[in-house]
Amino acid sequence: MDVLAANSLVIALSAFNAPGRNGILAAFLEPEMRELHQDWEDMTARVVPYLRSVAGADIEDPRLVEIVGELSLRSERFRTLWARQDVKHETTGTSPLRHPEAGPLELHYEKLLVPGAGGRTLVTYHAQPGSASEERLRLLASMHAPDHVGGTRPAGDQAVTPGHAMP
């Protein structure tokens, strides 16, 4: 769950979505993630079985061992969830967020396996068209999306689908 690439909007949603970050480490170790995810308990209960599902038979992978080891030492919540040994490959759902600039957002996500890319996954988020969340996401995009010369693009001239890729 290392982030390899991300657009400016998903980074505006959370700096923990930036390339070089790890989604599962952030979920359990960063206090800001508890503030952002209104359903933090449910979200963490979904992410651990998902991690087990994507790890599959590759339980000796050095990066997986490193992440599980660090989380086992630093997060009681992770230890509890990991001990359950639940496996579930849930690829769609809804994330209720409380963004410090945009306010409450309800974003739908989808995780798409990229064929031939060594298990990499593209994760997309979107708001229901016409919803208050879509309006707030557009506002966030207008505040954070750079234009072609380093400024900010005019409102209404941005994509409103944040996304990132991770292995």
Residue spans per domain, the chain: 5-166
- Which among 77, 111, 78, 109 has a CA at the least distance from the CA of 13? 109
Quote the percentage of the chain above a pLDDT of 70.
86
Q: Which CATH number fits domain 5-166: 3.30.450.180, 3.40.1260.10, 3.40.50.880, 3.40.50.300?
A: 3.30.450.180
* pLDDT at 85 > cutoff 80: yes
pLDDT tens column, 22-43? 999 999 999 999 999 999 999 9
With bands split at pLDDT 50, 70 and 90, how would you rate the model's confidence at 19? very high
With bands split at pLDDT 50, 70 and 90, how would you rate the model's confidence at 55? confident
**Exposed (0-12), middle (13-18) or buried (19+): which is 59, by Cβ within 10 Å?**
exposed
Give the global pTM: 0.81
Rounded to the nearest integer, the mean pLDDT of the chain is 86
